[in-house]
Structure 1
Amino acid sequence: MDEIKAYMTENQELILEDIKYIVESASPTNDKQLVDECGQRIQTLFEKYFSYRAAEITEQKYGNHLRFEYGDGEEKLLILSHFDTVWDKDELTYKEGENRIYGPGILDMKGGLVQAIWALKACKDLTIQLDKKIVFLCTSDEEVGSPSSKKLINNEAKTSSYALVTEPPVAGTGALKTERKGSARYHINIVGKAAHSGNHHEDGISAIKEAAEQIIYLESLTDYEKGTTVNVGVVEGGGPLNVVADSASIGVDFRMETTEEQKRIEHIMEELTPQAEGATLEVQGGIMRPPMHRDETTEKMFEHAEKVAKELDMELEEASVGGGSDGNFTANMGVPTLDGLGAAGTGIHARNEHILKNQIPERAALLCKLICSL
């Protein structure tokens, strides 16, 4: 058996213990205190295995980011993980089945983060000499578009030769992600005019009706041939049933395959106008992540990963997906990027979110061997 895979197999239960330790520390993105508490558990693992802690990048609104360095060299390899989740405290609990391990954020992406720690630990314990510096960023706000970590990621990307992202691989196939759609998010606040719904209905301007018309228009922008999808995921507004609603708001998520399409959607949102006379719109938001394109450097990097996988008796596939990640940023900076190098499983953002215990050794070994060989 390959030396690195044997190491991961031997330590599988310890890896799982560390995953449990991190998953049981709830870290919903918008709760800075909880996210920072989870960050301290990650620091505990760094100190336990490497005898030093990551540098902390302090944030006011979101959790503090962690920047860990390992090795030395003129070249730099960037590893990207995040430890915030979409789950509120106590919304899900950690539990183990025969092969499925459940928990909030275990797949997206605390399992992958811990596997990355163990990939570096394997380099240390097996005395594998690296000829490059590893910078491992653990960020706290990926689930809301990385508003505070984007600049940090881009700055690291400027001096990085490669980027590895420990998001989960494609469910079922285990494929790496070499292409992702770009994204944009908008919130539209609508102001109408209140009136009594019985006595003076004609004097009112319904913000809810305006919202409905805007929703129909925005959803019509979905174009599957272009790879553009539009989802109105939040609708709020109104009050008493006998009052014409004078306020409403909607939240919209866009996914686009190309930069040109992203710019087209951006222009549409900048020029958005009310359907009803007298109603007003306030549009907030914009582009969150650029598309992650598959180019020649990505192709070469994936071909290298295929060779590494064969050394582990793995057949590796690649895929284009609709979801975004922090890999979108590094790829847009011209850094060859491979995504989907985290823990394998199913249920991203779903209540059945889980990882597969029996795939921990080979997925962790794959990441480690890529770190060693790139």
Structure 2
Amino acid sequence: MPHLLRALQARLPSLLADLEELVRAESPTADREASAACADAVAALGARLTGAKPEYLAEGGSVQLRWRFGAGDRVLLLGHCDTVWPLGTLASHPFTVAGGRVTGPGCFDMKAGLVQMFHALAVLDSLDGVTVLVTTDEEIGSPCSRELIETEARRVRAALVLEASGPGGALKTARKGVSAYDVRVVGRAAHAGLEPHRGINTTVELAHQVLAIGGLADPGRGTTVTPTVMASGATRNTVPDAGELQVDVRVATVAEQDRIDTAMRALRPVVAGARLELIGGPNRPPMPGTASAELFARAARIHEDLGLGTLHGIAVGGGSDGNLTAGVGTPTLDGLGAVGGGAHADDEHVSVEHLPQRSALLAELVRAQLTPGSKDRHG
């Protein structure tokens, strides 16, 4: 058995104890106090395992943690500690270890990835050239940390993202780009029984817009355009004078992202007198398979050498901060975190067996990136 894998398997009790501590530090993105407290727990974990304290960066009022070892210019390890779960979820979804599974809010997405990352770094002889960035706003699209992520990505030769793996432990080798829009409609209220003709009906206008927007999708190109949340009006007997529609867009190419954005901005009202307002746009660029190809090939060889069998890759529709690192031209490999399932769902879980295995894979991959002469975008 390879040395690093053996060393990390011996750390399994510590991996589980550290994961319990992070899961118990509930951290919904919208609760900045709770997220900051979880960031403190991550900072303490990282300091204990690497011997270095992080920098605290308050980007846009949201806490981000950065460790820089030496120049920190060879590889970026990227993760987040915020979750989608509201405070108090532990009461109904407690941290448990049973039947080879860990459960608890945020264990899979993505607190196990953070624990694996720091334990992987702890077994390496040198971290010179590594930068670690942990953010607290990824689940809402990284509005505060995006600029920092992109800046750090431009400094390094590769980005390794500790988001949870795909089905069966597959790494995420490509991601769709994400755009998000709010379509707001302004009309005019009137009594629905006495003089509906005096009103400008935003519900009717939204119905027209839903059909037009849904028609922008192109499944053949992997483009989905999905009208989601919609609201209009306040009472049954009043012509509604305000309405709003949310739209989720996923695309495989920048060209499609641009096409949809142009089409959304060209929307015009159908109901006479109605006014449209469009808010939003592209949030994350696509992460193409070319961004991960060489890194994945290296990871697959390491996986085989560790005696862990064949490693698979998968293209997914969900976005992550890996979209941002790939978007600035940095080779990026995603899904290096936990093996398990149920992200954002009641059955969220992590495979206990895979905690040390994925830590070993990451450790060897980081070591390979730090080795002089390793192939990267700079030569």
TM-score, with structure 1 as normaliser? 0.94
Paired with 1:222 and 1:215, the residues of 2 have a C-alpha distance of 12
Quote the residue 1:184 is aligned against. 179
- What is the distance in 2 between the residues matched to 1:294 and 1:214? 34
Q: Secondary structure at the match of 1:45?
A: helix
Give secondary structure in 2 for the equivalent of 1:266: helix
Question: Aligned to 1:239, which of 234, 237, 246?
Answer: 234
Q: Indicate whether 1:310 and 2:304 are aligned.
A: yes
Alpha-carbon distance, 1:330 to partner: 1.3
SS at match of 2:222: coil
Instruction: Give the match for residue 358 of structure 2.
Output: 363
| 2:136 counterpart residue number | 140
Letter in 2 for 1:38: C
**Aligned twin of 2:375:** none
Residue aligned with 2:338, SS: coil
1:28 is aligned with what amino acid?
Answer: P
Question: How many matched pairs?
Answer: 365
Bigger Cα displacement from structure 2, 240-249 vs 40-49: 40-49
User: How many angstroms apart in 1 are the aligned matches of 2:326 and 2:313?
Assistant: 16
Structure 2 residue aligned with 1:82, among 80, 92, 98? Answer: 80
Letter in 1 for 2:83: T
The separation in 2 between residues aligned to 1:278 and 1:355, in whole angstroms, is 54
Residue in structure 1 matched with residue 110 of structure 2 by the alignment = 109
* Equivalent residue, structure 2, for 1:64: 63
What amino acid is the match of 1:257?
Answer: A
Q: CA deviation at 1:184?
A: 0.4
CA distance in 2, matches of 1:74, 1:240: 59
Pair 1:264 & 2:259 matched: yes
SS in 2 for 1:183: strand
| Superposed displacement of residue 101, structure 1 | 1.3
8 Å Cα contact 2:49/2:121 also seen in 1:
no
The answer to whether structure 1 residue 206 and structure 2 residue 201 are counterparts is yes
d(CA) in 1 for partners of 2:132, 2:47: 14
C-alpha distance 26-74 of structure 1, shift in aligned 2 (>3 A)? closer
Matches within 5 A, 1:168-183: 168-172=164-168, 174-183=169-178
**Structure 1 residue 50 displacement after superposition:** 3.3
Matches within 5 A, 1:320-359: 320-359=315-354
Q: Which runs of 5+ in 1 are unaligned?
A: none
Provide the C-alpha distance between the structure 2 equivalents of 1:265 and 1:146, rounded to a whole number of angstroms.
22
CA RMSD of aligned residues (A): 1.5
- Structure 2 regions of 5+ residues with no counterpart? 370-379
Instruction: Give CA-to-partner distance per residue, 1:218-238, whole Å, 9 cap, x none.
Output: 122222111001222212231
234, 248, 252: which one pairs with 1:253? 248
- TM-score by length of structure 2 reads 0.93
Letter of the 2:157 partner, please give it: S
Give the whole-Å Cα distance in 1 for the aligned partners of 2:111 and 2:87. 15
Look up the match of 1:17. 17
CA–CA distance in structure 1, aligned partners of residues 18 and 322 of structure 2: 25
